[in-house]
Amino acid sequence: MKILKVSVIIPVYNEEKTVLDVLNKVLQQSVVSGISFEIIVVDDASTDATASLVTRYQTDRPEGVIRYLKQNKNQGKGAALKRGFLEASGDVVLVQDADLEYDPSDYPKLLDPIEKDKADVVFGTRFRGEYQRVLYFWHYLGNTTLTLLSNIFTNLNLSDMETGYKVFKREVIQAIAPKLKSKRFGIEPELTARVAHGHWRIYEVPINYHGRTYQEGKKIGWRDGFKAIGAILYFNLIDR
């Protein structure tokens, strides 16, 4: 498959410290790859300077390269992603968090299985990469436990279901997007369940990971882990 255009969906909420760095790194990958990028920033009603920074950055770029969408009220990452998925026009749709935990230099690895027509969906795994920041044991245990539980119900052998790097052929994600119900961090197990039930070809590739501490702005907590368990059960047993 020849990829002519990639839609990069960036959900943001109060990311004034990192959002411009992320945009610069994404655009740099467009130059390196020679692929046209459409960057869709979905602002989940930020209360800091995120909006002004992105809109100012947008005006200095060619029309259509960066699209800025603002949610009327804070709804969560899942709701922001759903809006971005439905707006995407690229051949491939890639999720990019705005907090610099995930490095756009990994894009070539993420896109490669789709370009070779081996995959319809690609997950980037944080647990098989060259390097990752050493942080919280309980987060690692939570991630591996949630991945195991998800695998039990989806019959997949993923190593990192909760990864923020998920890449889709546009026809795949736009078939899924209207059904998405998770507004917050339950979006990861829901996306995984819906992809598994759709029987699309899934590949997993190693990525590098630069996790943040809570002092640096990390938002996910233990309550989200319990909600993820609920999402795994609901989207695999009830809403299929």
Asked, for residue 143, whether it belongs to a domain, the answer is: no
Asked, for residue 9, whether it belongs to a domain, the answer is: yes
With H, G, I as helix, E, B as strand and everything else as coil, classify residue 67: strand
Asked, for residue 120, whether it belongs to a domain, the answer is: yes
pLDDT tops 60 at residue 229: yes
Q: How far, in Å, CA of 107 to CA of 103, rounded?
A: 8
Q: How far, in Å, CA of 39 to CA of 44, rounded?
A: 16
Task: Read off the pLDDT of each residue in 26-36 and give the average, rounded to a whole number.
Answer: 92
% the chain with pLDDT above 70: 92
What's the pLDDT score for residue 125? 95
pLDDT tens digits, residue range 170-226?
A: 999 999 999 999 998 899 999 999 999 999 999 999 998 886 555 555 556 667 778
What's the pLDDT score for residue 96? 98
% the chain with pLDDT above 90: 78
pLDDT tens digits, residue range 117-144?
A: 999 999 999 987 666 666 667 778 888 9
Asked, for residue 196, whether it belongs to a domain, the answer is: no
Asked, for residue 183, whether it belongs to a domain, the answer is: no
Number of folded domains that form the chain: 1
| Contact in structure between 180 and 172 (CB atoms under 8 Å) | no
Asked, for residue 189, whether it belongs to a domain, the answer is: no
With H, G, I as helix, E, B as strand and everything else as coil, classify residue 228: helix
Domain containing residue 56: 5-135+162-177+201-217
Asked, for residue 193, whether it belongs to a domain, the answer is: no
What's the pLDDT score for residue 216? 52
What's the pLDDT score for residue 222? 64
Asked, for residue 78, whether it belongs to a domain, the answer is: yes
Q: How far, in Å, CA of 113 to CA of 37, rounded?
A: 18
When pLDDT is cut at 50, 70 and 90, the band that residue 50 belongs to is very high
Q: How far, in Å, CA of 82 to CA of 116, rounded?
A: 27
* Residue with the larger pLDDT of the pair 145 and 185: 145
| pTM for the model | 0.92
What's the pLDDT score for residue 131? 63
Report the CATH number that the domain containing residue 13 is assigned in CATH.
3.90.550.10
| Contact in structure between 159 and 151 (CB atoms under 8 Å) | no
pLDDT tops 60 at residue 232: yes
Q: How far, in Å, CA of 99 to CA of 114, rounded?
A: 25
